[in-house]
Amino acid sequence: MTKVKGLVCRECGKEYPVEPIHVCEFCFGPLEVVYDYQEIKKKLSKEKIENGPKSLWRYIDLLPVEYPSVGLNAGFTPLKKAENLGRLLGLENLYIKDDSVNHPTLSFKDRVVSVALSKAKEFGFDTVACASTGNLANSVAAHAAQAGFNCFVFIPANLESQKIFGSLVFKPTVVAVEGNYDDVNRLCSEIANELNWAFVNINIRPFYAEGSKTLAFEVVEQLGWRAPDAVVAPAASGSLITKIWKGLKELYMVGLLDSLKTRVYGAQAEGCSPIAQAWKEGRDFVKPVKPNTIAKSIAIGNPADGIYALQVTKESSGIWETATDEEIIEGIKLLAETEGIFTETAGGTTIAVLKKLAEKGYFSPKEIVVAYITGNGYKTMEVLEGHLPESIRIKPTLADFKEKILVKTL
Amino acid sequence: MTKVKGLVCRECGKEYPVEPIHVCEFCFGPLEVVYDYQEIKKKLSKEKIENGPKSLWRYIDLLPVEYPSVGLNAGFTPLKKAENLGRLLGLENLYIKDDSVNHPTLSFKDRVVSVALSKAKEFGFDTVACASTGNLANSVAAHAAQAGFNCFVFIPANLESQKIFGSLVFKPTVVAVEGNYDDVNRLCSEIANELNWAFVNINIRPFYAEGSKTLAFEVVEQLGWRAPDAVVAPAASGSLITKIWKGLKELYMVGLLDSLKTRVYGAQAEGCSPIAQAWKEGRDFVKPVKPNTIAKSIAIGNPADGIYALQVTKESSGIWETATDEEIIEGIKLLAETEGIFTETAGGTTIAVLKKLAEKGYFSPKEIVVAYITGNGYKTMEVLEGHLPESIRIKPTLADFKEKILVKTL
C-alpha cells in the first residue's frame, strides 16, 4: 500500500507498520496513520475525485483502505445552503453539512464504521465489536450485518430497551454490562487485549477515525473546491474535530486547496464540556468530568483526543463554546423551523453554539460558514417531550375548523 | 411551459390547463399531467441528466415544475446491490432502492412533497396543508419550513403524542380532528374547496404524484440505463406503482430505454389489501376495506388510484401479493440482518412479498429485480417490541464475559 507509510505515535513519533494496534508501546500515546503525500499528489486530481462513486469512497486515495468492501453508500451527504437560518444569524453564506441522512444509520458514524470495517476485512478479522449506547452501535451492527462479520455490541445494562432496538434489529450479540459507560469501555479494552476481535474504537481506532476526514473533503468539493472560512462541529472524544482539520490540511498538501485558512470552532454541551472548560481556563490538558446533559451522543467525560482537539482550535484560530440543555433543545427547534432539518442533541449543540458565535461577532457576514450536523432527530424524539406546542383539537366540521383555527391562526 | 401540455382526465379524456385542480368537472375522474414527449426528446439526453444535480431535480425535464425551489436535496438515494438477501432468495441481481435515507425526512414522500411544494410556489400559494398520520406530515412540515409556507397538518385526534413530534418540530399548525382518518380526509377536501390552500394530496395531487416517477428514473440510471426485469413496490393509494410504471414508459418514449419489459409487482399488508383482493378475485374495481394492520403507513382502505394500479400489473405482467403482520416484522428483520438496512412496516411488506414471489418462482435467477424501500425503521421502532432477541447481561469482568458470552456464542 504505497499511499500509507505506516502508523506513528502522536506523542513520541515512534513508527509502526500498518497493523491493528492503537497505542504506542513506549509512551502509550495514540497512533495515527501517516501517508506519502508526494506519492498521492502525483495521482490525485479534482477530476478523478469527481468521477468517483457518490459516496465517501471517492476519497479513497486519502483513506487507509485498499479495497472498500463495507459501507459502499456511506457519505457524500447534502451540503445545504441555509438561507433562512443564515438570515437570522446575519450570515450570507451559511451551510449545513447534513449527515442526518447518512446511509444506512443516519449519523456520521456510518463514515468511520465503513472505513473501520473495510480495514477489518483487509486485516482478516471475522468478528467486530464496539462499546456504545447509540449511533455507533447502530452503525457497527448494520455494517457488520451487510459485511458478514460476527458482531458484539457492549452497552450499560441500565439502558432503556427501546433504545437498543435500532441495533438489535441487525442481530448482533448485545452484551448488557452491569456498570456505567466507563465500566463498559474498560471491559472492552480488556477483551480487545485477549481476543482477536476488531473493536472499532479501540484496536483499529487509528483507521476508524480517518473516516471523519471525509467530512472535510466533501465540504470543500461541494463548495466548488473552496475551503470554508469557518466550521462549527460538536466534540465528544474530540476526534471528529481533529480529523476535519487533518482533512483540510491534506487537501492543501496534495494541492487541491490553495490555502489553509479555515477557523475550527468546537461545540460541547455545558453538562459535559471538559475540552471547552480546558479552553476557557487556558489549560493544555483536559480534566475528566462526570456527564450530566441530555446530549448523550456527545457525553464523553474523558475525551481521548481532547488535547489534540484543543490544539486544532489554537492552530486554526477557533475557539470553544458550550450550550445548556435548554439551548440545545432550542437549537434543534431552530434548525427544524428554519431549514426543515431534524437533528438530535449533538446537532442542537452545534446550532446553539453557532448562534452564540454569530451573535458575539466571530463571523463576518460574507464568510463561508459550515455547521456540521452529525445525527438524526428521529432516533431520539423523546428529548422533545414538553418542548413542543400542543396541537389544536377540533370537531370534524368546517364550522369548527373556521372558528377554532382560521380565526386564531391567520 | 412547453414540456407540459396540460392536464387530462384519466377517465373521459377531457383536457384542462395547468391549474391547481385534481378532479374532472364532467365525470369526476382524476386529472393527470400530460407532457409533450416529442419536444422533451429533442432536448433530453443521458449526459444532460448525468451532469445534473445529485437529487431528483436531475429529471426536471420530465417533471411538471419550471423552477425547483423546494426540496433541492430530495431523491437520488442509493441503489444497493443486495448480495446477501439475493443469495438467500436465489436472485443474483437483486437491488434495494433505498429511500430510507431520503432528505430530509427519510421516506419517499420527500420526493412528492418537493415537487408539490415547488409547484405550489409557482402557483403563488402561501399556505400548504395535508392530512396524514406519519411520513407525509413529516415531509410537508419540513419542506414548508424551509420554503417559508404557512403549514397546516391535519391528524386524527387519537394519535399518540410522540408520533407527531416528528412533524411538530418543524412548527406547523397541527389540527387534531375528532374522528378517524376518513373524517380527517373528508374535512380536508371541504377546506380545499373553500380556501386558497395547497393541499398536497388533494387539489395539487396531479403534480404531487408526478414526483414518484423519479423512483423509476433513478433506478434505470443507476443500473446503467437499463430497466429492471421486475420491481416490487408497496401500495397504499396505488399512486406509487402507477407512477413507477409511467416513469418507465416515459423513458422509453423519449428514447432513454430500448424496451418496456419491466414486470411490476404490488405488495400490500394482508390487514389492508383492497387492491390485492381485487386482483385475486379477478375484479377490475376495488372494494373499500377497514384497515387492520401494523403497517399504518400503507393502510388506506379506499385507495384512490387502486384501479390504475391494478391496470399496471395487468399491463406489465406482474401480480399482487400480501403479507401478514408477522411476515411484515420478519421482512423488516430479514432486510436488516442481511443488508444492514432498517426499514419500516411498508418496507417489511415489500421484502415479505419479494420473498414469497421468489419462493413461488416468479423471478429467474439472473433477472434484475428491484425492491423499493420507501421509509425508515428508526421512526417507528415500537413495532419491534417483543420481536427481537434479548441482550445478555454480564458483570463488568473478563471472567463473566468469558463464561456467559464466549462459551455460548462462539
Of the candidates B150, B182, B205, which is a domain's last residue?
B205
To the nearest whole Å, the CA of A95 is away from the closest chain B CA by 13
For residue A8, the Cα-to-chain-centroid distance in whole angstroms is: 23
Q: How far apart are CA B18 and CA A123, in angstroms?
A: 60
To the nearest whole Å, the CA of A310 is away from the closest chain B CA by 32
Helix axes B109-123, B135-147, angle to 10 degrees: 40
pLDDT at residue B179 tops 80: yes
pLDDT (tens digit per residue) in B112-137: 999 999 999 999 999 999 998 789 99
B323 within 8 A of B353, measured Cβ to Cβ: yes
Looking at the fold, whether B366 and B239 belong to one and the same domain comes out as: yes
Residue A43 within a domain: no
* B395: nearest CA partner in chain A: A178
Q: Which amino acid type is present at position B267? A: A
Looking at the fold, whether A178 and A297 belong to one and the same domain comes out as: no
Q: What is the DSSP letter of A236?
A: S
CA-angle at A101, arms to A359 and B143, nearest 5°: 65
Is A289 in CB contact (< 8 Å) with chain B? no
To the nearest whole Å, the CA of A13 is away from the closest chain B CA by 32
Residue A149 within a domain: yes
Interface probe, candidates B77, B381, B406, chain A, greatest A C-beta count within 10 A: B381
Is A84 in CB contact (< 8 Å) with chain B? yes
Cβ–Cβ gap B175/A389 under 8 Å: no
Is B320 in CB contact (< 8 Å) with chain A? no
Closest Cβ opposite residue A377 in set B76, B155, B169: B169
- A152: chain B residues, CB-CB within 8 Å: 405
A286 within 8 A of A272, measured Cβ to Cβ: no
pLDDT at res. B133: 75
Mean pLDDT (whole number) for B9-36: 97
Cβ–Cβ gap A73/B78 under 8 Å: yes
For residue A105, the Cα-to-chain-centroid distance in whole angstroms is: 13
Give φ, ψ of A272 to 5 degrees.
-160, 80
Is A97 in CB contact (< 8 Å) with chain B? no
Q: Which residue from A102, A79, A94, A101 is spatially nearest to A338, judged by alpha carbons?
A: A94
Cβ–Cβ gap A146/B339 under 8 Å: yes
Helix (H, G, I), strand (E, B) or coil at A407: helix
Interface probe, candidates A70, A152, A163, A165, chain B, greatest B C-beta count within 10 A: A165
pLDDT at res. A409: 65
Residue B47 within a domain: no
Q: Tell me, what CATH number does A253's domain have?
A: 3.40.50.1100
**Percentage of chain B exceeding pLDDT 70:** 99
To the nearest whole Å, the CA of B64 is away from the closest chain A CA by 23
Helix (H, G, I), strand (E, B) or coil at A94: strand
Cβ–Cβ gap B388/A169 under 8 Å: yes
- B56: chain A residues, CB-CB within 8 Å: none
Interface probe, candidates B54, B342, B385, chain A, greatest A C-beta count within 10 A: B342
The DSSP annotation for A263-332 comes to EEEEEEETTB-HHHHHHHTT-SS-------SS-GGG--SS-TTHHHHHHHHHHHT--EEEE-HHHHHHHH
Q: How far apart are CA A376 and CA A105, in angstroms?
A: 9
Q: What is the ipTM of this complex?
A: 0.95
Is B393 in CB contact (< 8 Å) with chain A? yes
Cβ–Cβ gap A78/B78 under 8 Å: no
pLDDT (tens digit per residue) in B302-349: 999 999 999 999 999 999 999 999 999 999 999 999 999 999 999 999
To the nearest whole Å, the CA of A199 is away from the closest chain B CA by 15
Cβ–Cβ gap A80/B98 under 8 Å: no
Min mean pLDDT across B62-66, B148-152, B226-230, B299-303 is at: B299-303
Residue B122 within a domain: yes
- A173: chain B residues, CB-CB within 8 Å: 392, 405, 409
To the nearest whole Å, the CA of B374 is away from the closest chain A CA by 14
Residue B285 within a domain: yes
* A331: nearest CA partner in chain B: B169
**Percentage of chain B exceeding pLDDT 90:** 92
Q: Which residue from B113, B94, B95 is spatially nearest to B104, judged by alpha carbons?
A: B113
To the nearest whole Å, the CA of B76 is away from the closest chain A CA by 10
Cβ–Cβ gap B388/A165 under 8 Å: yes
pLDDT at res. B336: 98
- Tell me the residues of chain A between 323 and 382 that have a Cβ less than 8 Å away from chain B: 332-333, 336-342, 376-379, 381-382
Closest Cβ opposite residue A164 in set B78, B104, B391: B391
The beta-strand segments (E) located in B273-385 are 320-323, 368-373
- B328: chain A residues, CB-CB within 8 Å: none
Exposed/middle/buried for B360, CB within 10 Å: 0-12, 13-18, 19+?
Answer: exposed
- B72: chain A residues, CB-CB within 8 Å: 80
* B406: nearest CA partner in chain A: A195
Looking at the fold, whether A123 and A86 belong to one and the same domain comes out as: no
Owner of C-alpha cell 468517483: A52
Q: What is the DSSP letter of A108?
A: T
pLDDT (tens digit per residue) in A133-167: 789 999 999 999 999 999 999 998 887 777 789 99
Q: Which residues make Cβ contacts (< 8 Å) with residue B159, sequence separation at least 6?
A: B133, B176
Q: What is the DSSP letter of A66?
A: S
Is B408 in CB contact (< 8 Å) with chain A? no
Is A290 in CB contact (< 8 Å) with chain B? no
Cβ–Cβ gap A98/B104 under 8 Å: yes
To the nearest whole Å, the CA of A332 is away from the closest chain B CA by 8
Is A137 in CB contact (< 8 Å) with chain B? no
Looking at the fold, whether B237 and B271 belong to one and the same domain comes out as: yes
pLDDT at res. B410: 59
Looking at the fold, whether A256 and A339 belong to one and the same domain comes out as: yes
Owner of C-alpha cell 386482483: B279
pLDDT at res. A133: 75
Exposed/middle/buried for B2, CB within 10 Å: 0-12, 13-18, 19+?
Answer: exposed
Q: How far apart are CA A172 and CA A145, in angstroms?
A: 8
Q: How far apart are CA A95 and CA B397, in angstroms?
A: 46
Residue A330 within a domain: yes
Looking at the fold, whether B226 and B256 belong to one and the same domain comes out as: yes
Q: How far apart are CA A86 and CA A70, in angstroms?
A: 36
Q: How far apart are CA B173 and CA B163, in angstroms?
A: 15
Q: Which residues make Cβ contacts (< 8 Å) with residue A325, sequence separation at least 6?
A: A269, A270, A271, A293, A294, A295
Looking at the fold, whether B285 and B368 belong to one and the same domain comes out as: yes
* A50: nearest CA partner in chain B: B51
pLDDT at res. A216: 98
Q: Indicate the pTM of the whole model.
A: 0.96
Number of other CB atoms surrounding residue B16 within 10 Å: 17
Give φ, ψ of B269 to 5 degrees.
-75, 135
**Percentage of chain A exceeding pLDDT 90:** 92
Helix (H, G, I), strand (E, B) or coil at B80: strand
- A162: chain B residues, CB-CB within 8 Å: 381-382, 385
Looking at the fold, whether B142 and B255 belong to one and the same domain comes out as: no
pLDDT (tens digit per residue) in B30-46: 999 999 999 999 999 99
Looking at the fold, whether A337 and A243 belong to one and the same domain comes out as: yes
Looking at the structure of chain B, the number of domains it has is 3
Q: How far apart are CA A321 and CA A273, in angstroms?
A: 9
Q: How far apart are CA A379 and CA B9, in angstroms?
A: 42
- A331: chain B residues, CB-CB within 8 Å: none
User: In which domain, by residue range, is A311 found?
Assistant: 79-105+206-384
As a whole number of Å, the CA-based R_g of chain A is 22
Q: Which residues of chain A have pLDDT under 50?
A: none
Residue B60 within a domain: no
pLDDT at res. A407: 83
- Tell me the residues of chain A between 41 and 80 that have a Cβ less than 8 Å away from chain B: 54, 72-73, 76, 78, 80
pLDDT at res. B181: 79
Looking at the fold, whether A266 and A343 belong to one and the same domain comes out as: yes
pLDDT at res. A1: 60
- B376: chain A residues, CB-CB within 8 Å: 106, 378
Cβ–Cβ gap B379/A378 under 8 Å: yes
Cβ–Cβ gap B80/A101 under 8 Å: no
Exposed/middle/buried for A330, CB within 10 Å: 0-12, 13-18, 19+?
Answer: middle
Beta strands A31-35; A4-9: pairing state: antiparallel
Beta strands B15-16; B4-9: pairing state: antiparallel
pLDDT at res. A359: 98
Cβ–Cβ gap A342/B169 under 8 Å: yes
- B154: chain A residues, CB-CB within 8 Å: none
As a whole number of Å, the CA-based R_g of chain B is 22
pLDDT (tens digit per residue) in A379-390: 999 999 999 998
- Tell me the residues of chain B between 175 and 204 that have a Cβ less than 8 Å away from chain A: 175-179, 183-184, 186-187, 190-191, 194-195
Of the candidates A170, A205, A240, which is a domain's last residue?
A205
Q: Which residue from B306, B101, B104, B131 is spatially nearest to B203, judged by alpha carbons?
A: B131
pLDDT at res. B227: 97
Helix axes B325-339, A135-147, angle to 10 degrees: 80
Average model confidence (pLDDT) across chain B:
96
Looking at the fold, whether A29 and A87 belong to one and the same domain comes out as: no
Q: How far apart are CA A282 and CA B371, in angstroms?
A: 56
Residue A62 within a domain: no
Looking at the fold, whether A130 and A185 belong to one and the same domain comes out as: yes
* Inter-chain CB pairs, A–B, below 8 Å: 231
Q: Which residues make Cβ contacts (< 8 Å) with residue A275, sequence separation at least 6?
A: A235, A238, A266, A268, A286, A303, A306, A309, A310, A320
Cβ–Cβ gap A391/B54 under 8 Å: no
Question: What is the SS3 assignment for B268-299?
Answer: EECCECHHHHHHHCCCCCCCCCCCCCCCHHHC
Number of other CB atoms surrounding residue B225 within 10 Å: 14
To the nearest whole Å, the CA of A282 is away from the closest chain B CA by 37
Closest Cβ opposite residue A178 in set B98, B145, B395: B395
